[in-house]
Chains A and B, each alone.
Chain A
Amino acid sequence: MDLSYSAEDIAFRDEVRAYLADNLPKHISDAVREGGEMGKAMIEEWHAILNRKGWLATIWPKEFGGPGWTPVQRHIFEEECCRAYSPRILPFGISMLGPVLQKFGTKEQQDHYLPRILDGTDWWCQGYSEPGAGSDLASLKTRAVREGDEWVINGQKTWTTLGQHADWIFCLCRTDPDAKQQQGISFILVDMKTPGIEVRPIKLIEGGHEVNEVFFTDVRVPYGNLVGEENKGWTIAKYLLTHERTGIAGVGFSMQALEEVKALARKTLRNGKPLIEDPLFAARIAQVEIDLEAMKITNLRMLFKAQSQGAPGPETSILKIKGTVIHQELKDLARRALGPAAAPFPGHVTDGNLMFGPAATAHNAARYFNNRKTSIFGGSNEIQRNILTKTMLEL
């Protein structure tokens, strides 16, 4: 047992740290720190910077333009990115579609789409969920019918994250309504500019616009936009889910959130003393810090297992459940630390001396509410428990 990073890992960490210090623009890290919504422009700017260095698609193999890192290196990179307050890399093209095309796509598809993901030509979104198909994704109804060398798509996707910016959407569509649920689904790429597509915004609990409904009415796309085999889309969907799981514990983000909570608790006065000296609040911080410390190791243990076995196992569900709960708890503490000062709607009280402390505090309540999503999406925490029940407990 040895918990220390190898000399190479440490050298790698220092390299990443130095790179971020030199290349992460201040206006971007400030925006992350202040916790508002990341605009399209800033995400694209940051993607372009990482791409120039070859560090954008960290999970891609070298042959496709990835850096060829080990899972531990990827972990170090993610941790350092959080530490430096760099924006989250958008997962849809890089960590979802990329690996799918690399595994199931044709050579033409790979040559066409992968470079465009890297250089930011195409912004992708994920068209899985439907109003009637959430946890039970396989019950999806959006229909794709082959007509000559085209697919004609009708139906509706929902919860489409950042679909308002997207150039393309990858969709699960029903292509054989008579087959058993999982067996009649295909994975199809759709240009968002195709006639018949309508994107409608969904306003979230805290007032932000990050998800959308996407409607398809007689949308015609080339038959060649099919990825993998017809009616074998479920296999792809499942493969993609395993990739959605890297970094699933969100340890870096929780470490960031813990530091923020401590900073807030140092600045906030309660009973005339820094809140961090209040025994009840200090206990809350310490409690979640203990959980996080264990989670770091749990995460690394599973990372190592994945590294030696080649793929993450079902126990990564543990990372999802506990990782999201820890992060949500930290967001709760931030809101709690501020007390009444967390109440104003973000943006309402920001000018001059009327600010409630630093600008970074304005979004704390909003982030707490928004982050309730993490235990719902990507397979809800209930679904994760079902997975563990079946796979680990065999009940």
Chain B
Amino acid sequence: MDFNLTEDRQMLADTLNRFLTEQYPVEHRNKVAYDAPYHDPSKWDALVELGTLFALAPEEAGGMGGAGFDIAVVFEALGRQITPEPVLGALMASRLLAAAGADQEALLSGASKYAVAFTELDAAYELDQIAAQATAKGDAYALSGRKSTVYGGQVADVFLVAAKLNGKLAVFQVNAADANVTGYGMMDGAGAAELLLDDTPATLLIEDGAAAMEDAINAGIVALCAEAVGAMDVTHAITVDYLKQRKQFGITIGKFQVLQHRAVDMLTEIEQSRSIVIKAAAELGGPDASRYASMAKNLIGRSARLIAEEAIQMHGGIAMTWEYPVSHYGKRLVMLDAQLGDTDYHLSRVMAGNAAA
């Protein structure tokens, strides 16, 4: 047993953390995260150059990583600076392209930005509720339907879209130029898009796509959960630091035992979160990947909300301000619950698994 990162992963973590702390301080992050295009194109290029995307794909697919722990390392670093770069879409698209055996040079080199469009207004998390339809047109296909809150869709060149083909879930590739894309910013920074498909030309990527989509989602969950751990660590550190600085009633508020204990409870939940991410990362790609991804997303859904709310409460008014970083960490931590299945959705999956076993 060994809970240390391999040397390569540690180096990647150090490189990314150094780059992001220097180049992506939270003030800069807030400037780019809330204004179109809701990320920083030059920092995206720099992140790509540092090998961020290559770390997300296995060697067979042209990358240099692709394991759960590679993904976790990258996203924990991104989470520490609540980076609004569209890396999640790249990761999930890379999983889908790998499953299709398709070339992903354009993705890994950063030349094309990919976004994954599964979600619909009436299919927030459930793949079996997807209603978008594909029809064959000679050799090509056409898609119709609406894809909603497509993360990173505001800057995507290529969308990988889930749609029904002959009653089965298939994955298609759609060029942004061919689709009706409305980009917007989000409550917690970064951008997304609504994708209106109306007989939109598409290329078939995976005809029977459910398993590949599930794998992409599991990888995405490991990523989001690791991102949350990074963001929780920083939020907790800022909070504890504030408890040591802020004085009321003539003493630092960190001397109030009620706040001490709650800061300890936060720590406990963060350690639990770290552990479940390790477990989900270890299982990624294996037969039980979905079960552990669901466990992770449920636990993180609970702990991230707790950390966000407690950090704000224990700061008092200051953490309610836009200017103070904790407000932005708090928003990210809460809002990531609504990506790739929320606390309840994943709890019910774990429950269903138990009932079936």
Contacts and interface: CB of A to CB of B under 8 A. Distances in A.
Interface of A: 129, 132, 134-136, 139, 158-159, 202-207, 268-272, 278-281, 284, 332, 335-336, 338-346, 348-349, 354, 356-357, 365-366, 368-369, 372-373, 375-377, 380-382, 385
A341 B148 contact: yes
Interface in B319-351: 319-323, 327, 330-331, 334-335, 337-339, 342, 344-345, 347-348
B124 A340 contact: yes
B344 A280 contact: yes
A336 B129 contact: no
Interface of B: 34, 119, 121-122, 124-126, 129, 148-149, 182, 184-188, 192, 194, 247-250, 256, 258-259, 305, 309, 312-313, 316-317, 319-323, 327, 330-331, 334-335, 337-339, 342, 344-345, 347-348
B321 A376 contact: no
Contacts of B323: 202-203
A146 to B, nearest CB: 28
A284 B347 CA distance: 13
With most chain B CB atoms within 10 A of its CB, the pick from A205, A206, A268, A357 is A205
Closest 7 CB pairs of A and B: A348-B184, A203-B322, A340-B149, A205-B327, A339-B124, A136-B248, A280-B344
A289 B186 CA distance: 30
A336 B342 contact: yes
Given A134-B317, A372-B312, A345 B342 contact: no
Contacts of A344: 149, 184-187, 192
Nearest to A349: B184
Nearest to A375: B313
Contacts, number: 141
Given A136-B249, A340-B119, A342-B338, A205 B124 contact: no
Given A346-B187, A372-B330, 5 more contacts: A203-B323, A278-B348, A339-B342, A340-B149, A340-B339
A58 to B, nearest CB: 28
A268 B345 CA distance: 14
20 contacts: A134-B248, A136-B249, A202-B321, A202-B323, A204-B322, A205-B312, A205-B322, A269-B122, A272-B122, A278-B348, A338-B338, A340-B119, A340-B124, A341-B121, A343-B186, A345-B185, A354-B182, A357-B121, A372-B309, A376-B320
A356 B121 contact: yes
B258 A205 contact: no
A377 to B, nearest CB: 7
Majority secondary structure of chain B interface residues (helix, strand, loop or mixed): mixed
Contacts of B256: 382
Contacts of B347: 280
A204 B321 contact: yes
Nearest to B248: A136
A258 B319 CA distance: 27
B254 to A, nearest CB: 13
A200 B164 CA distance: 54
Contacts of A135: 248-249, 316
A341 B188 contact: no
A373 B320 contact: yes
B187 A365 contact: yes
B146 to A, nearest CB: 9
Contacts of B339: 340
A75 to B, nearest CB: 28
Contact of B338 (A132, A207, A340): A340
Contact of B187 (A336, A369, A377): A369
Contacts of A158: 317
A385 B256 CA distance: 13
With most chain A CB atoms within 10 A of its CB, the pick from B192, B317, B322 is B317
Nearest to B122: A269
Contacts of B316: 134-135, 376, 380
A218 B249 CA distance: 28
Given A354-B194, A373-B320, A376-B316, A366 B126 contact: no
Contacts of B185: 344-345, 348
